[in-house]
Amino acid sequence: MAFLGVFLGLLYSFGGLIVDLLTVGLNWGTAMAFGALIIMPIAFGTVGFICGLISHLIISFIKKVLA
């Protein structure tokens, strides 16, 4: 699924690039689409790590209280 997301993101970004080149010119939307391909996986990985850490701490606390 991750490869599908990257593929579709690239397709969307290059589609926007082609549209921008055929019309007025490049705009910030195209730059943000390419930037999102790099930033979003890092952001989701960071949030997932933090959520996993918090849930581990909560579960460990509950285990200590119940044991």
pLDDT of 2 over the 80 cut: no
Q: SS3 letters for 50-65?
A: HHHHHHHHHHHHHHHH
pLDDT in tens, 13-22: 888 788 878 8
Give the total number of structural domains in the chain: 1
State which residues form the domain around 60: 2-66
What is the SS3 string spanning 15-52? HHHHHHHHCCCCCHHHHHHHHHHHHHHHHHHHHHHHHH
- Tell me: pLDDT of 63 over 80: yes
> 28-66 and 2-22 are packed helices; what angle lies between their axes, rounded to 10 degrees?
160
